[in-house]
Chains A and B, each alone.
Chain A
Amino acid sequence: MTRMESTTNAQQVVRLWLANALALVGEHEEELGRLDAAAGDGDHGTTMVRGLRAANAAVTDAKGSAGELLAQAGAAFSDAAGGASGALVGMWITTIGQRLGDGPYDLPALLEAVQAGTNRVARLGKAQPGDKTVLDALTPFLAALEAQAAAGASLGDGWRAALPAAEQGAAATREMVARRGRSAKLGERSLGHADPGAVSMCYLLRAAADAFDRAGDE
């Protein structure tokens, strides 16, 4: 799809995204838990599922623009998930929603919104790329998305084309030593395992690509 032409369509994409995200993260709940247990308390999968369930519930009957739905979903996610990752991922979703507002919902607008959400996560989490966090998936993703936007790609195609950059970024966290969060205190023990937050973010991004495709088909 080139862009979400109608308001109804954009709301539908938000609902599809959250439903896809819950399904995809749910499938990988145990994997995320194992990654987290390497240097954390092993509950990242459970936390993400809990947050996404609440986010889905929040938008089921909610009224408002796609931006407003996202803002509500983010708040519900943070509250249900708790912990550092709940606060940060929820803030990311909420910020994207606030930036998108009533639209337009095209690739340049989404790029700007995701950039704003990511900046906010970096500032709140006091992290930088290379610290073995969600930023190691988001930063290369944004660079790839920017290139797609500059080349005039459509929303669905551009987003999907940027996914491998996020996944390579998440995989590269295996070689990193955590410098932020509780796992930072575990230093070297985090080496050899991908950061669970970066991996779960890849599932959220992939779920969005599938939502754009499906909404485009309808």
Chain B
Amino acid sequence: MTRLYNDPADFREELIEGFVAAYGRLVQRVPNASGVMVRAPQPDKVAVIIGGGSGHYPAFCGYVGPGLATAAVMGNIFSAPSAEQVYRVTKAVAGAAGVLYSYGNYSGDVLNFDMAQMRCEDEGMDVRTVLVTDDVASAPRGQEEERRGIAGDFYVFKLAGASAARGDNLDEVERLALKTNARTRSFGVAFAGCTLPGQRAPLFTVDAGQMELGLGVHGEPGISTGEMRPAREVADLLLDTLLADVPEGAGSRVAVMLNGLGSTKYEELFVLYKDVHRRLLAEGLELHDPIVNEMVTSLDMAGCSLSLLWLDDELAPLLDAPCTTPAYTIG
């Protein structure tokens, strides 16, 4: 249930205002646009612009700051931002080094970002797009480009942002973002749906005592519905799926992220993570800086997702590179 709001129609605007008021030391409002940007954009570096519907905090505005995203375009709850807003945010931060758009693969986002990209290209800007497609539940192997983007957003944004921050050119930032996406896999499980501001009923429901495997962050269907099980079996379910979908040339070093979807508590996540960790070690994998946190949420949805980023010598330093954002800081 979303309880705190005034007029639901003003929800996005008010959340942006409050967010910028709280984190003004790190971010600023993009003038005349639904978005936030770093306080001091650097025109000689590639601008990494992320975005999508609101309702997924820390995605997307929580990842704006030095070392990560340059700006985030924010749509209404679960609704893509308009092409006009993407364009305005791009104009506010784009410099000579060009722009990378990165966001989850949803048709509304693709449509609006693509229209903005065409407009910017017509004006002579160099803009590239890397879609995040990490959710293995949304399309089978062999159709990876059809998959939707969920918590893996974070890894793609982080590595693209780190690449841009160290001064890589646009070709290189794009290549590394594509590579990160190609090596990221996520799978989630949901226990209860979420309710939009002003709505009395949840957007979708999960029957009591059941869990939905692979349910999307807006209620899109997943793979199957099953009986609720003990945490250790849920850990195995998640890992069985992810370990059956290991990208080519994966190696044995993985970054692991257990992400809470909104109303599954940290304590529960740690209980689950204990078995995730143990199993990954038992598989002979080397674990790189696990994250157990809320990284990409879905309002007050109950559930979690597990993401693996298969690292190599090129990607690991980008994951470790310093960044300072409202939701995620290293170094």
Q: For the complex, is B9 an interface residue (Cβ under 8 Å from A)?
A: yes
CA distance A86 to B108 in the complex (A): 9
- A88 contacts B111, CB within 8 Å? yes
CB contact list, B95-129 vs A, under 8 A:
106-108, 111-112, 115
Q: Which residue of A lies closest to B85 (CB)?
A: A79
> A60-83 vs B: 1/0 string, CB under 8 Å?
000000000000000100111111
Q: Which residue of A lies closest to B115 (CB)?
A: A87
> B305-325 vs A: 1/0 string, CB under 8 Å?
000000000000000000000
- A42 contacts B221, CB within 8 Å? no
- B236 to chain A minimum Cβ distance, whole angstroms, is 26
CA distance A78 to B112 in the complex (A): 9
- B221 contacts A87, CB within 8 Å? no
- B148 contacts A87, CB within 8 Å? no
CA distance A86 to B75 in the complex (A): 12
> B214-233 vs A: 1/0 string, CB under 8 Å?
00101111000000000000
Q: Which residue of B lies closest to A47 (CB)?
A: B79
Q: Which residues of B contact A180 (CB under 8 A)?
A: 107
CA distance A186 to B204 in the complex (A): 12
Q: Which residues of B contact A46 (CB under 8 A)?
A: 9
CA distance A25 to B82 in the complex (A): 21
- B108 contacts A181, CB within 8 Å? yes
Q: Please tell me the number of chain B residues within 8 Å of chain A, measured between CB atoms.
A: 29
CA distance A102 to B216 in the complex (A): 47
Name the one of B77, B83, B199, B220 contacting A185, with C-beta atoms under 8 angstroms. Answer: B220
Q: Which residues of A contact B80 (CB under 8 A)?
A: 82-84, 87
- A82 contacts B112, CB within 8 Å? yes
Q: Which residues of A contact B81 (CB under 8 A)?
A: 82
- A83 contacts B79, CB within 8 Å? yes
Q: For the complex, is A37 an interface residue (Cβ under 8 Å from B)?
A: yes
- B270 to chain A minimum Cβ distance, whole angstroms, is 31
Q: Which residues of B contact A182 (CB under 8 A)?
A: 106-108, 218, 220
Q: Which residues of B contact A189 (CB under 8 A)?
A: 221
Q: For the complex, is A124 an interface residue (Cβ under 8 Å from B)?
A: yes
- A81 contacts B82, CB within 8 Å? yes
> A182-201 vs B: 1/0 string, CB under 8 Å?
10111101000000000000
Q: Which residue of B lies closest to A184 (CB)?
A: B107
CA distance A20 to B78 in the complex (A): 28
Q: Which residues of B contact A79 (CB under 8 A)?
A: 82-85
CA distance A79 to B115 in the complex (A): 12
Q: Which residue of B lies closest to A86 (CB)?
A: B82
Q: Which residues of B contact A47 (CB under 8 A)?
A: 76, 79
- A185 contacts B138, CB within 8 Å? yes
- A3 to chain B minimum Cβ distance, whole angstroms, is 33
CA distance A125 to B318 in the complex (A): 36
CB contact list, B112-160 vs A, under 8 A:
112, 115, 138, 148
- B130 to chain A minimum Cβ distance, whole angstroms, is 19
Best-buried of A80, A85, A185 by chain B (most CB within 10 Å): A185
CA distance A85 to B85 in the complex (A): 15
> B65-97 vs A: 1/0 string, CB under 8 Å?
000000000011111111111000000000000
- A84 contacts B107, CB within 8 Å? yes
- B196 contacts A43, CB within 8 Å? yes
Q: For the complex, is B203 an interface residue (Cβ under 8 Å from A)?
A: yes
- A42 contacts B107, CB within 8 Å? no
- A87 contacts B112, CB within 8 Å? yes
Q: Which residue of A lies closest to B75 (CB)?
A: A82
> A81-113 vs B: 1/0 string, CB under 8 Å?
111111110010000000000000000000000
- B112 to chain A minimum Cβ distance, whole angstroms, is 5
Q: For the complex, is A175 an interface residue (Cβ under 8 Å from B)?
A: no
- B108 contacts A41, CB within 8 Å? no
- B155 to chain A minimum Cβ distance, whole angstroms, is 22
Name the one of B85, B107, B111, B221 contacting A186, with C-beta atoms under 8 angstroms. Answer: B221
Q: Which residues of B contact A132 (CB under 8 A)?
A: none
- A78 contacts B9, CB within 8 Å? no
- B216 contacts A185, CB within 8 Å? yes
- A43 contacts B78, CB within 8 Å? yes
CA distance A86 to B216 in the complex (A): 22
Having A75-B84, A82-B75, A84-B108, one finds 19 other A-B pairs with CB under 8 Å, namely A41-B78, A41-B218, A43-B76, A43-B79, A79-B82, A80-B82, A82-B80, A83-B53, A83-B79, A84-B107, A87-B83, A125-B111, A181-B108, A182-B106, A182-B218, A185-B148, A185-B216, A186-B219, A186-B221
Chain A: residues with CB nearer than 8 A to chain B? 37, 41-43, 46-47, 50, 75, 78-88, 91, 124-125, 180-182, 184-187, 189
Chain B: residues with CB nearer than 8 A to chain A? 9, 53, 75-85, 106-108, 111-112, 115, 138, 148, 196, 199, 203, 216, 218-221
